[in-house]
Chain A
Amino acid sequence: SAVISQKPSRDICQRGTSLTIQCQVDSQVTMMFWYRQQPGQSLTLIATANQGSEATYESGFVIDKFPISRPNLTFSTLTVSNMSPEDSSIYLCSALTEGGTEAFFGQGTRLTVV
């Protein structure tokens, strides 16, 4: 298993600004990825964070809006850039351990853009 620490847990931001969310795992993991959970909806995969290379984005998400870093096997960041109220959501960091079949999740970041 893996314990994932995510911060901040919540934030209220002005439109047009950017917020960087940090995700730290207590052990080395093979895969890290980011989900968005909009109010009353399911989790939508944003991208897979790749160590040492550009993230792999899902349809509808682009690097300019959601730049992602993963400098090592235990840490990743997601930036929400040039925010608008439509970006208000919960952002969840997730990871898969080597040989593991189930994903582990951080506590989430509840973002409100005003």
Chain B
Amino acid sequence: AQSVTQLDSQVPVFEEAPVELRCNYSSSVSVYLFWYVQYPNQGLQLLLKYLSGSTLVKGINGFEAEFNKSQTSFHLRKPSVHISDTAEYFCAVSERSGGSYIPTFGRGTSLIVHP
């Protein structure tokens, strides 16, 4: 079974400051890793994903994440945030074996960008 831990339920930050949202996972097999964003009253939108290869992946809206296998982490970063980045961010993992790829989600981190 797989699980995802997002250590911070809420991250307040000022506009143009850097931000890191933390995500750790556990699984007995190889995994795919994802970050989704949910804006108010909307569904989930994929920000980026790690399948294989380079451990640093870049996504939309200037976000990037780094896969660290030894620390079982997949932290999300952005060097300079905007007010429009205020949203809920979900880390997710799916297992490569079995072929189902149904993701398991963390509890979410609310990013609040202040002017």
Contacts and interface: CB of A to CB of B under 8 A. Distances in A.
Contact of B100 (A31, A105, A107, A110): A31
B46 A92 contact: no
Interface stretch (B17-25, B36-44, B63-71, B72-80): B36-44
Interface in B88-115: 90, 92, 94, 100-108
B43 A101 contact: no
Given A42-B106, A92-B44, A101 B49 contact: yes
A96 interface: yes
A45 to B, nearest CB: 7
A106 B35 CA distance: 16
A74 B43 CA distance: 18
Given A31-B100, A101-B51, A41 B107 contact: yes
Contact of A33 (B102, B105, B106): B102
B14 interface: no
A110 B38 CA distance: 14
A105 B46 CA distance: 9
Contacts of A63: none
Interface in A44-67: 45, 48
B105 A31 contact: no
A42 B102 contact: no
A101 B94 contact: yes
Given A31-B102, A103-B103, A108 B49 contact: no
A114 interface: no
Contact of B90 (A33, A43, A45, A102): A43
Contact of A105 (B44, B106, B107, B108): B44
Contacts of B36: 105
Contact of B42 (A101, A103, A107): A107
A105 B102 CA distance: 12
A43 B41 contact: no
A31 B43 CA distance: 18
Contacts of B102: 31, 33, 45, 48, 96, 103
B106 A108 contact: no
A107 B43 contact: yes
